[in-house]
Structures are given as C-alpha cells and as structure tokens.
Amino acid sequence: MAEPSTSSVECQNILVDWVGIHGSDDETRHLCHGKPATSREVKLEIYFDPVSSFGFFKLRAPVDVEGEIMPLFLHIKPDRITSLIYTGSKGTTNTMPHLRFTLGKPAELIVPFGDSLPLKRPKLDGSTLTSLKQLAQETTLCVYMAHDQMLSETLLQPLCAAVTDRSLKPLKLYSELSGLYRGRGAKVLQGAELGVPPALPSYDEVGGLAIPYPSKQSAAPTSASTKRPRLSSSDSYGNESEDIRADCWKKPVIEPGAYEQNQLACEEFSRLRDELLQMKTKVKQMEEESQMMKLELKKMDEGSQQMKAEMALIKTTTVETDSQATSETSTGKPTLSQRMRTRLDVYSKVEVEDRVHEGTLDTIVGEELCRQAEIDARFDDLEDRHDSYTKSEIDRKLEEVEQNLARELQESLCNVDDVEEILYHKLKTVYTKDETDNRLYDLEKSYKDTSSIEIEEWMVETKGDLEKDLRSEIKDAKVDLQGWMQTAVRLRMKSVKRALKLRMGKRSLSKMPPWRKFSRSRVVVKSTGSD
C-alpha cells in the first residue's frame, strides 16, 4: 500500500521541558542547544495529511559520535497521544508559543544499532543522551518554539481535532528503522537501557516493619512553650526547589540574531518546497507535451500514409498514360486532336497541304508529265543534300523520345517501398510512445535523489533537447517529402513540355519546300538545332 502524500513542518531551535518523576521529586528539566542555526540544534518535525488523517511526530537531537554528527530520534506515535494542546503567543512576546503533549505511553528513543554509543564529547553529548532517555520515560512534555516559527492555524486545527477524535493514524514510512543511519539500522532503547530504576517491592512482599521512631502522638508535651518553632531544613529546600522550578518555566534564553537566522532558514525551506511543487508542475506539463507530441506523430503517420497513397496513384496514372500512349502509337488510334477535327468536320493545315499535294501528284502521274522513278530519285537526292528526316523517321524518333520519357519518369518517381524505407530511416530517431514513457519514468525516479537546482537544470536541458530533436526531425521529414514531390512534378512537367515542343517544332510545315508536293508517301522535314 502506497503511503499518502503528507505535508511536513519543521520547527528549529526548540526547547523541550518536562517535570521529572525519576530522581528528585517534581524536578523541572529541559533539552535545548545554545547555538541556533547549526547542525547541533534540536528540531521537531511534524508530518500530517489532513485528507487521510495520517500523522507522525519526531524529535531530533544531534550528538557527536566518533567525529560524526549523528541525530538521535524520539518518535511520538499518534496512537500514544491522548491530548495535544497548542498555545500561541497571543500577540505579545511574554508568552512563548508551545505544544503540550500528554501521552498514554512514553515515546520511543531511537539510536543507532549497536551495543554502545562512543560519544566524542561525553559531557555535552552525554547530557543530551541522558535528557532523551528521561524523555523516553515521561508522559507529559512541552515543546517551546520561537515567535517567528509559529504554526499555522490551517495545520493545527485539523491536527488537534484528529488527536481528540482518536482518528489520527501513524505513518509506517517514518517509523521504519532498517533504513536509518545510512542503512546500518537503528533500535529502540527500552527498560534497563533507559536507566529506569527497579520497581520497589510491595508492602505485602516486605511485610510489616517495626516503627524505628516513637510516634508523635505518644509523646505528650511536658510543658507549654511560647517560643516560635524553628524552620526545618526540608522547608527551606522545598521553597528553593519551587524557586528553581519557577525560573525554569520562564522564557528560555535565546542568543541575539537567532530569530533572524531561524527566519532565513524557514524562508529557505519554503523556497525549496515551492521549487519542488514547481518541478512537479513542470513534470505534469512535460507529460501533457509528450501526449501532444504523440498526437502529432500520429498525424504525421496518417499524412505519410496519405502521401503513400498519392504516390501510388501518381505511379499508376503514369503507367496507364504511358501504356495508353504506346497502344495508341502501335495501333494507330486517332489522337484527341484528330477526334476533335472529325467531330467539327474541319481539316488541319497538314491535311489541306496533303490533299493539294496528292491532287497535284495525281494530275502529274495521270498526264504522264514525269515518271515515279524520277520523282523518287530526285527525292533521295534532295534528302541527302539537305540532311533532313522523313515523316516515318520523325514518328519513330518521337516514339523513342516518348518511351525514354516514360522510362525517366518511372525511374525518377519513388515507388511505395522506397518511400516506406526513406520514412523509416528519417523517422526512426523520433521518440516512440514507450521511449517517451521510459524517459519520463527515469526522470521522475531520478529527481527524488537529486537537489532541486540540479533537477530544474536537467529538466530544462532534457525538455529543450526533446523539443529540438523532435522539431528538427519533423521539419526535415516534411522538407524531404516536399522536395521529392516537387522534383517529381518538375521533371514530369519539363519532360512533357520538351516532348510537346519537339513534336510541334517537327510538325510545323509552314515553311515546307515546294518539292514536297511531288511526293505521295514521303515527306521531308529539315532538322532543327534542338536535335
């Protein structure tokens, strides 16, 4: 079961006092440290979750063990608290704010696991350890704190109400002892280890004893005395103990500047807590951004699928166009211009010239003005002299050009497999859903053991790298796809334009020589510079 998220409050430079029941009767004792804002000050840590009513109290008192400052803990579990009363300063500096605990069972003293504690300063640290042992035997203690560390009412009201209702439950996370002291473990001091004196035998076990001194009632006064009775030494000692107790319950002595240092420490703690909340907010924002990136990747995938379909359609259209052109060329199927002229019942310029040439040739042959062999010989002579092409050669040349154009277009356009391979190589560096979740999980796991400043810097760098890599990959993929499409269309348009220009230039017969009229089956066209 996961522990609930709790809010923690730390009170520094506190003073704990109690009325001892072991040793001198009604002796007031206290525990504190004279140097605030140091590693040796006594602290009270409060953990409380108002939603689930989980709470825990922990008193921390550092001691020097073999040159290492090591804290000793006094765990106050919620199930042992019978009463918790908080008293504020009431607007004056005469009253110190304090928490008064009334326990049904004494608190637990937590020390490092081992037989003994080798204290470096037996006098100073031994006094602290002795005070903690005495506290672990008391059921009533009072914790004083500075004026600038007063607890908020929003925390105290539900906390005291939960203690009164007996609904405050202990947090198991903070009561674990195996992970304390860098994994060396800890133990709870009990019984003789706390220095508890052995219990006195009962009256029944001891039995009746003779009275060592005569009773005061049996001693009758012999004579009346008018003198004032002398005070006994016990009475003076009793008054002296009352004076000492009154002095100890006064306001504790705090060095100058301690409040300012405690205030700075509280502000630093608040700042670090706010930074941690900001980091949690940034982690949530990054999770939302990762979701948006996933949606963008999904849209890109759909766009790539659509582009694949368009590429396949273009390829199919190109193949059909090439096959249709080849079939029309091989079967002699009329072209679109021929069908339009047939529908409109008109003649083209070439057909008019052919009809005139054919009529003239028929007239010449019919009237036997010249022989066919002479016309062919003269035609061959003119063809060799002017280095020109016949109509059949021009048609064959155009057919070869169209076939080469279709082959070039087929080679220039990428097929579906090529597009898939290119997209795979271009988009394989983009983070997938699992990789993004793993990176976010590693980030959330590692920030627990890192300081807030390092977490913020690392998060900013990671976020920038993710955004930069993803945007660059998306931009490169879009640019590459647009470039491929533009190049393919540009090559297609240039090839079609060049073929049309070549065909129109070759078939322009406005400057046809007059000897062309004497041929029925052969047409001579001069070669241009474009060949």
pLDDT digits (tens, 9 = 90+) for 97-108: 888 999 999 999
507 compared with 88, residue with greater pLDDT: 88
H-helix segments, 59-152: 122-135
Residue 155 lies in a domain: yes
Task: Flag whether pLDDT at 525 surpasses 70.
Answer: no
Residue 292 lies in a domain: yes
Instruction: Tell if the pTM clears 0.85, that is, is over it.
Output: no
**Secondary structure (H, E, C), 2-46:** CCCCCEEEEECCCEEEEEECCCCCCEEEEECCCCCCCCCCCEEEE
Domain extent at residue 284: 267-315
Among the ranges given (77-86, 181-190, 223-232), the one the predictor scored with the smallest mean pLDDT: 223-232
Q: Are 523 and 391 in contact (CB under 8 A)?
A: yes
Tell me the mean pLDDT in the region 301-308: 84
303 and 154, same structural domain? no
180 and 66, same structural domain? yes
Give 520's pLDDT tier (boundaries 50, 70, 90).
very low
Tell me the mean pLDDT in the region 79-103: 82
Residue 300 lies in a domain: yes
Which amino acid does the sequence have at 39?
S
Q: Are 308 and 419 in contact (CB under 8 A)?
A: yes
286 and 174, same structural domain? no
Task: Flag whether pLDDT at 62 surpasses 50.
Answer: yes
Instruction: Give the total number of structural domains in the chain.
Output: 2
293 and 170, same structural domain? no
Give 231's pLDDT tier (boundaries 50, 70, 90).
very low
Q: Are 285 and 66 in contact (CB under 8 A)?
A: no
Q: Which of 279, 300, 315 represents a domain boundary (last residue)?
A: 315
Q: Which of 194, 224, 255 represents a domain boundary (last residue)?
A: 194
Residue 149 lies in a domain: yes
The pLDDT score that the predictor gives to residue 522 is 47
Tell me the mean pLDDT in the region 82-93: 78
55 and 176, same structural domain? yes
181 and 98, same structural domain? yes
403 compared with 349, residue with greater pLDDT: 403
Q: Which of 173, 194, 215 represents a domain boundary (last residue)?
A: 194
22 and 163, same structural domain? yes
Task: Flag whether pLDDT at 150 surpasses 80.
Answer: no
92 compared with 313, residue with greater pLDDT: 313
The pLDDT score that the predictor gives to residue 334 is 67
Q: Name the average pLDDT for the chain.
A: 72
